[in-house]
């Protein structure tokens, strides 16, 4: 094969960079913990295996708490909504730790509250109980997250308390951060990438992050987190599956509205576009968006996602046009690549569609030696001859080749993110390996998989 796997890493952390340690005394007294988005974590390190520990997030009359009873090794959640209704939640499948526990954490990710233990016999952090706050607490409301306070209670002895933004269980949907003409952006010798930071569950627990990758050591560094306001409803969302682009002095972020997709009958996915002069590749940002209207004329389409943008020479000399690759679903979940073009991102028309595909996504525009091509990922649910491969299409979405590379396992539609380096080709992609325990189900993937080689096939 032309490309081979050179590295596989898992950037797992419940706390993002920038987390701070607070004194046990301050944590027990209660203290402000304002956040720009509903993605926060409290971690407490235990001393011994006795007593009861309560970790609480509060805002107004809302109380969101995780309790760990060290004597019984049982973790549960307590929710008090704005109306004063109190409920308690314990998982019968995973609520009891079966080994030594040295730390407990409480996370809020979108509308999901989760309690974790660390150091038991399953290794690392394991989710013990979780509950959705949908229809009870509007966690996406900026007033709610700006008013958050943390508190630690109980008689369990603790060593320290760390608080901050939620990190990630894994990464997926990895893309190059690029200039408008498709040129990859490097910073201090490191390649800039955007990704979906996996949360503890389905798509509505994830969010967008920005990373840098060292092309030689394959070291990954967390650089930024991005959240979004929608044009059609209030709140801050962890939308993801995006493309981050620099266009002169402006940054564009085209993203998919997975941030509230829960798989229900009313769930839909669209694409939005943010534009800002702030450098979105460092720090934390909440971005205003407008609709990115991706054309599906003549197609059966219930949703669109995975936008990828590039500005190229236009059809007549001296002009330019946008090419936008994306995915359209005929139903959830059957989907295929689509390509649109237009003089502006607000005037796109359908150019081509690979409507014969049923499980192909990760639509990615790349400039190869023979011109612009569209890469994609044929998933394991594709028709037998097409399974688990990286097709190469022309701009009419006719398949013209495949990328000669192994399909990372366990698989979950790895995106073909390719960049030419001084030493050859590098692909940064991902697999479908879960993390965090059996309670969480689908959506906690994956490992970052780096492939290298001198040619593509």
**Nearest to residue 127, comparing CAs of 116, 138, 137?**
116
Task: Tell me the C-alpha distance between 31 and 25, whole Å.
Answer: 10
Q: What is the rounded CA–CA span in Å between residue 169 and residue 150?
A: 23
Within-domain flag for 407: yes
Residue 3 covered by a domain: no
Which of 167, 189, 211 marks a domain boundary? Answer: 167
CA atoms in the 13 A half-sphere facing the CB of 210: 25
Whether residues 92 and 216 fall in one domain: no
Is 143 found in the same domain as 197?
no
How many other C-beta atoms are found inside a 10 Å radius of the C-beta of residue 109? 28
Position 121 scores a pLDDT of 58
CA distances from 343 to 30, 276, 315, 416, 435 (A): 54, 20, 10, 27, 43
DSSP 65-117: EEEEETTTTEEEEEEE-TT--EEEE--TTTSB--S---EEEEEEETTEEEEEE
**Residue 440 backbone dihedrals phi, psi, to 5 degrees:** -80, -25
Entry pTM:
0.96
Per-residue model confidence as pLDDT tens digits over 17-63 = 999 999 999 999 999 999 999 999 999 999 988 899 999 999 999 99
Backbone angles phi, psi at 144, to 5 degrees: -65, -50
Which pLDDT value is given to residue 123?
Answer: 61
b/e per residue 288-306 (b: at least 16 CB within 10 A): ebeebbbbbeeeebbbbbb
- Compute the half-sphere exposure of residue 354: CA atoms within 13 Å on the CB side of its CA: 33
Q: Are residues 193 and 259 in the same domain?
A: yes
Q: What is the DSSP string of 359-370?
A: BEEEEEEEEETT
Burial of 315 (0-12, 13-18, 19+ CB in 10 A): exposed
- Rounded CA gap, 353 and 339, in Å? 6
Predicted pLDDT of residue 264: 79
Residues 416 and 394: their CA atoms lie apart, in Å, by: 15
Closest-CA residue to 268 (of 303, 235, 242): 303
64: buried, middle or exposed (CB in 10 Å: 19+, 13-18, 0-12)?
A: buried
Residue 7 lies in a domain: no
Give the list of residues 6+ apart from residue 123 with CB closer than 8 angstroms, or none: none
Examine residue 1 and state whether it is found in any structural domain, yes or no.
no
- Among candidate residues 143, 167, 191, the one where a domain is terminated: 167
Cis peptide before 333 (omega within 30 of 0): yes
**Are 110 and 199 part of one and the same domain?**
no
Q: 3-class SS at 250?
A: strand
- The model's pLDDT over 72-104, given as tens digits with 9 standing for 90+, comes to 999 999 999 999 999 999 987 788 898 889 999
Q: Do 415 and 282 sit in the same domain of this protein?
A: yes
208 and 160 share a domain? Answer: no
User: SS3 for 357?
Assistant: coil
Domain harbouring 108, CATH code: 2.60.120.200
Residue 152 lies in a domain: yes
Question: Are residues 359 and 338 located together in one domain of the fold?
Answer: yes
| Coil/strand/helix, residue 306 | strand
Burial (CB count <10 Å: 0-12, 13-18, 19+), residue 316: exposed
Looking at the 3D structure of the chain, how many domains does it have?
A: 2
**Residues of the domain holding 350:** 169-453
Euclidean distance between CA atoms 204 and 224, whole angstroms: 19
How big, in percent rounded to 5, are the helix, strand and coil portions of the chain? 5, 50, 45
CA 167 to CA 12: how far, in whole Å? Answer: 8
Is the residue at 221 inside a domain?
yes
Query: For residue range 174-226, what is the model confidence (pLDDT) as tens digits?
Result: 999 999 999 999 999 999 999 999 999 999 999 999 999 999 999 999 999 99
- 134 lies in the same domain as 212: no
CA angle 155–133–272, rounded 5-degree value: 130
Which residue, 188, 176, 294, is CA-closest to 245?
Answer: 176
pLDDT in tens, the chain (457 residues): 599 999 999 999 999 999 999 999 999 999 999 999 999 999 999 998 889 999 999 999 999 999 999 999 999 999 999 999 999 999 877 888 988 899 999 999 999 999 999 986 556 999 999 999 999 999 999 999 999 999 999 999 999 999 999 999 999 999 999 999 999 999 999 999 999 999 999 999 999 999 999 999 999 999 999 999 999 999 999 999 999 999 999 999 999 999 999 877 778 999 999 999 999 999 999 999 999 999 999 999 999 999 999 999 998 898 999 999 999 999 999 999 999 999 999 999 999 999 999 999 999 999 999 999 999 999 999 999 999 999 999 999 999 999 999 999 999 999 999 999 988 999 999 999 999 999 999 999 999 999 999 877 7
Residue that finishes a domain, picked among 116, 132, 167: 167
8 lies in a domain?
no
In a domain, 353, yes or no: yes
Asked if 111 and 149 sit in the same domain, the reply is: yes
Whole-number pLDDT of residue 414 = 98
Question: What CATH number has the domain bearing residue 418?
Answer: 2.115.10.20
| Chain centre to alpha carbon of residue 313 | 32
Length of the chain: 457
Q: How far is CA 225 from CA 30, 168, 213, 319, in A?
A: 26, 11, 16, 35
Rounded Cα distance between 209 and 266, Å, is 27
Q: Does residue 389 share a domain with residue 447? A: yes
The pair of structure tokens assigned to 230 is: 């929608």
**Neighbour count for residue 92 (Cβ, 10 Å):** 7
Q: What is the model's pLDDT at position 1?
A: 52
One domain for residues 123 and 240: no
- Residue 207 sits in the same domain as residue 68: no
């Amino acid at each position: 094969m032309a490309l081979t796997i050179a590295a596989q890493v898992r950037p797992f952390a419940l706390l993002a960079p920038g987390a701070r340690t607070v004194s046990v005394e301050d944590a027990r007294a209660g203290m402000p913990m304002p956040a720009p988005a509903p993605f926060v974590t409290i971690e407490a390190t235990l001393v011994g295996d006795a007593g009861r520990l309560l970790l609480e997030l509060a805002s107004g009359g809302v109380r969101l708490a995780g309790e760990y009873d060290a004597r019984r090794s049982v973790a549960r959640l307590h929710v008090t909504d704005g109306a004063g209704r109190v409920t308690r939640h314990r998982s019968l499948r995973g609520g009891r730790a079966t080994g030594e526990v040295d730390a407990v954490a409480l996370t809020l990710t979108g509308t999901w509250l989760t309690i974790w233990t660390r150091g038991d016999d399953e290794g690392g952090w394991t989710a013990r109980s979780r509950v959705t706050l949908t229809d009870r607490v509007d966690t996406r409301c900026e007033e709610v997250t700006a008013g958050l306070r943390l508190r630690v209670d109980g008689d369990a002895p603790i060593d320290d308390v760390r608080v901050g933004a939620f990190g990630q269980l894994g990464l997926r949907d990895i893309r190059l951060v690029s200039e408008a003409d498709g040129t990859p952006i490097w910073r201090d010798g490191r390649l800039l990438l955007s990704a979906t930071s996996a949360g503890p569950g389905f798509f509505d627990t994830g969010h967008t992050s920005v990373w840098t990758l060292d092309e030689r050591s394959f070291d990954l560094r967390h650089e930024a987190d991005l959240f979004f306001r929608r044009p059609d409803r209030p709140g801050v969302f962890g939308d993801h599956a995006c493309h981050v682009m620099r266009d002169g002095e402006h940054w564009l972020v085209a993203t998919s509205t997975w941030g509230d997709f829960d798989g229900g009958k009313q769930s839909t996915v669209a694409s939005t576009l943010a534009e800002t002069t702030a450098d979105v590749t460092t720090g934390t940002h909440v971005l205003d968006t407008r609709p990115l209207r991706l054309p599906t004329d003549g197609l059966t389409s219930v949703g669109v996602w995975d936008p990828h943008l590039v500005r190229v020479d236009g059809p007549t000399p001296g002009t330019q046009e946008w090419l936008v690759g994306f995915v359209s679903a005929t139903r959830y979940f059957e989907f295929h690549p689509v390509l649109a073009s237009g003089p502006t991102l607000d005037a796109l028309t359908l150019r081509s569609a690979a409507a014969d595909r049923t499980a192909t996504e990760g639509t990615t525009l790349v400039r190869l030696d023979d011109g612009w091509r569209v890469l994609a990922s044929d998933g394991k649910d594709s028709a037998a001859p097409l399974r688990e491969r990286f097709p190469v299409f022309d701009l009419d979405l006719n398949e013209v080749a495949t990328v000669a590379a192994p399909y990372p396992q366990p698989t979950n539609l790895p995106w073909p993110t390719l960049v030419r380096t001084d030493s050859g080709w590098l692909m940064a992609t991902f697999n479908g390996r879960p993390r965090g325990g059996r309670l969480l189900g689908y959506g906690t993937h994956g490992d970052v998989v780096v492939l290298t080689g001198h040619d593509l096939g």
